[in-house]
Structure 1
Amino acid sequence: MKIAFFSTQSYDRKYFDQVNRHYGYELLYFEASLNEKTAILAEGCQAVCIFVNDQANALTLENLHKLGIRNIVLRCAGFNQVDLEKTAALGMRVLRVPAYSPESIAEHALALILTLNRKTHKAYNRVREGNFSLQRLTGFNISGKSIGIIGLGKIGLAFARIMQGFGCRILAFDPFTKDVPAYIELCDRDTLFEQSQIISIHCPLNADTKHLINAASLAKMKEGVMLINTSRGAVIRTPDVIEALKSGKLGYLGIDVYEQEDKLFFRDLSESVIPDDQILRLMSFPNVLITAHQAFLTHEALTEIAETTLSNLKSIVEGRENPNQVSNGF
């Protein structure tokens, strides 16, 4: 089988080539993201492999279908970038990686919390410049704080275990989860907003969660709340978060995802003019920490992503059913 990989980075090639030794597929790597114009690059392939910011919309899917491609594999858990109604109409299979080292995402969320709180990034830069002052580096104890978790999938549960170890009260909202460990308090969304001092988002992006964090939900939160997002950028309505930062309602913001990241992330723009005023405004706040969608970037996660993706392809070759198929929207 010949597969076209879009939006590839050096680490994609490294880990997929390593795992592919056991499969023997022909892998073609493209740095370009998938869209209706770049779909032609997959000519001669039997499948395409895409990532979070590739766009498998109706027109792109039609162009792939004309090339004879009937299989789309995602090397990520989310599939909001794929028009599933169109894939169903075209008879195309879509398979994803539903879970890959959930600890990697959960641990990155913790890293954002600790860095924002204890300001280690600022202390590091100060010391390198010979500044050993402790002024404006005061943080707070995480122990004893109320932590709100939105989404209790494998990542949310991994994050809950970590925060329990810090001695925190764990609140969680997930409309699809009923059976949880005793240390987790399931509650409604408003209760979580009202009682949490730190809120971490671990839900998928869909019609119900898009712009879940907006002016109305922010108004219900505690003054000076810390908000962490390692899920999908569009869960947050950025203009409302900027206003909350300006007013002081939002005391800290840590994000590894951004609604318009497809135009920014995974690129070196250090010598370019960034045309996105919203992210420039976010970067101007001293209490905002942004990482460029790197929460998944661990050896364990990258290995598992490659293994599951190529295993998904094997099930296609062998004509087997696969629980990772999402063509029907689940």
Structure 2
Amino acid sequence: MATRIAFYGAQPYDRESFDRVNEAYGFDISYYKGHLTAESAVLAKGAGAVCIFVNDTADAATIRALKEQGVPLIALRCAGFNNVDLEAARREGIRVVRVPAYSPHAVAEHAVALMLSLNRKIHRAYWRTRDGNFALHGLMGFDMYGKTAGIIGTGKIARILIHILRGFGMEVVGYDPFPDEAFASEAGMRYVSLDELYRRSDIISLHCPLTEQTRYLIDDRAIGRMKPGVMLINTGRGGLIDTQALIEGLKQKRIGAAGLDVYEEEGDYFYEDKSDKIIDDDVLARLLSFNNVIVTSHQGFFTEEALANIAHTTLSNIRDFEAGARLANEVTGDGR
């Protein structure tokens, strides 16, 4: 009998990509639109694994409930795992696996899309022309050629982005606590201090992990050190930015534009259709009120190639667990 996977938070695109890839694996996937919680864990009774996303809840109570239902594995179909109580999972003997990477090209290209849209006011021009307004006032941008981009964190996504921006003829400076000088030489960029990056950059893009050290990396003090009118892009983690400080920076015109694919309190909104409801998050509502801010719903990863990679890696993780093989993508209790 095929192993059953209880798949929570299922969207139509999840079903399509996983069903296609599952033809090679043969699992019995039960799709549930609702999110995993302590109450909904009963739906996973007898399943060999639950498959969850970043907006599902796997706290201690939920993990206890999964244990009671006999579930031995939590398979995250994402890279982030901050929604899982790893200590509780260790206590209950439930293993946790994830998808560490799906398509760095997808996220890097989305960061560029945000930059170009904000710079050339594409979002505003789109709405104007739909209304028959073809005036150019207020739509002026700048040549990215010759400008300076500051990249914070130089992992896989950032390295692809750096190559793209160098192709635009931009100067690129980067900050990373573990600089790779060989890459910098090959890419034609230079590592600098955070202070110098803030001072020189016309565009700053965030690509570092969210840790205790990087939480609110962009706060009022950091914004005060930036070049006035800087464009800020975040396709990393919402908690890298103190949103209240960002709003103040926008109001004072210290920040010229912001492109955000993530938001620190996104869990109640992103990936859901809330168009018929009032947004009761005053901070998010304020962000959406700025015409020089673009917020996208954590869609940087959302390409055909990335979804296929997510499905392949997730189902491969579950197959390896079944076979008793080494779990290359296991998340351990120390957060690795």
TM-score by length of 2: 0.94
* CA distance in 2 between partners of 1:67 and 1:283 (Å): 42
Distance 1:218 1:274, change over 3 A: same
Corresponding letter in the other structure for 2:178: F
Corresponding letter in the other structure for 1:175: P
Q: Which stretch shifts more, 58-67 or 283-292?
A: 58-67
Partner of 1:198: 203
- Structure 2 matches for 1:146-295, cutoff 5 A? 146-178=148-180, 179-182=182-185, 183-295=188-300
* CA distance in 2 between partners of 1:327 and 1:180 (Å): 30
Mapped pair 1:299 → 2:304: yes
Corresponding letter in the other structure for 2:219: N
Partner of 2:113: 111
- Structure 2 matches for 1:39-78, cutoff 5 A? 39-78=41-80
- Structure 2 matches for 1:313-328, cutoff 5 A? 313-328=318-333
Corresponding letter in the other structure for 1:128: R
1:80/1:205 contact within 8 Å kept = no
Corresponding letter in the other structure for 1:5: F
Please give the secondary structure, in 2, of the residue aligned with 1:180: helix
* CA distance in 2 between partners of 1:152 and 1:90 (Å): 36
What is the count of residue pairs matched by the alignment? 330
Q: Which stretch shifts more, 6-15 or 143-152?
A: 143-152
Please give the secondary structure, in 2, of the residue aligned with 1:211: coil
Q: Which stretch shifts more, 292-301 or 26-35?
A: 26-35
| Structure 2 portions without partners, runs of 5+ | none
Give the drift of 1:252: 0.4
Q: Which stretch shifts more, 234-243 or 206-215?
A: 206-215
Corresponding letter in the other structure for 1:99: A
| C-alpha distance after superposition, 1:43-67 (max 9, x if no partner) | 2212111111222222222221222
Q: Which stretch shifts more, 119-128 or 138-147?
A: 119-128
Please give the secondary structure, in 2, of the residue aligned with 1:199: strand
* CA distance in 2 between partners of 1:57 and 1:197 (Å): 41
Give the drift of 1:91: 2.4
1:78/1:205 contact within 8 Å kept = no
Mapped pair 1:5 → 2:7: yes
2:184/2:191 contact within 8 Å kept = no
| Structure 1 portions without partners, runs of 5+ | none
Please give the secondary structure, in 1, of the residue aligned with 2:6: strand
Q: Which stretch shifts more, 15-24 or 168-177?
A: 168-177
* CA distance in 1 between partners of 2:14 and 2:205 (Å): 27
* CA distance in 1 between partners of 2:98 and 2:159 (Å): 20
Give the drift of 1:181: 3.5
TM-score by length of 1: 0.96
Please give the secondary structure, in 1, of the residue aligned with 2:88: helix
Aligned-residue CA RMSD in angstroms? 1.4
- Of the three residues 81, 96, 114, the one matched with 1:79 is 81
Please give the secondary structure, in 2, of the residue aligned with 1:54: coil
* CA distance in 1 between partners of 2:56 and 2:194 (Å): 31
Give the drift of 1:177: 4.2
Give the drift of 1:73: 1.2
| C-alpha distance after superposition, 1:260-295 (max 9, x if no partner) | 111111111111111111111011111100111111
Corresponding letter in the other structure for 2:203: I
* CA distance in 2 between partners of 1:48 and 1:277 (Å): 34
* CA distance in 2 between partners of 1:78 and 1:191 (Å): 30
